Structure 1
């Protein structure tokens, strides 16, 4: 699954750059590239643990 997320990011970035390269750019291709890029970034960010969650958990254990 991690490999798929990186593929989505690379694929979305390539599509967005391709749409931006031409003088007569296609807005729909650019938007779809950005959407694919953002889906990949979102999926990766879900796997990163929150720093605030670990600080809150440690803080409550010290007070108990």
Structure 2
């Protein structure tokens, strides 16, 4: 699992680098920009799938004992 997450981080960095490179030129290469964004989103999606969901606390409310004398 740890090795896969490193791979997904690499995908994110490569995709971001390609997207920035394609956008930095005077003549923007749309195909390279799209490929960079696809690689970036693939890495984000796969990395998100490896992160476990947050455990929710129990939904019931604890209350103080009710005094019958009141």
Fold equivalence (TM over 0.5): yes
TM-score bucket (shorter structure): 0.7 to 0.9
User: Residue 5 of structure 1 aligns with which residue?
Assistant: 8
Question: Can you give the 5+ residue segments of structure 2 that lack an aligned partner in the other structure?
Answer: 61-70
> Which among 28, 36, 48 is matched to residue 51 of structure 2?
48
Please give the alpha-carbon distance, in whole angstroms, between the structure 1 residues aligned to 2:53 and 2:6.
22
Structure 1 outlier segments of 4+, above 3 Å: none
Question: How far is 1:3 from its partner?
Answer: 1.4
The within-5 A match list for 1:1-64 is: 1-51=4-54, 54-55=55-56, 59=58
Higher helix share: 1
Displacement after TM superposition at 1:48 (Å) = 1.3
Which has the greater radius of gyration?
A: 2
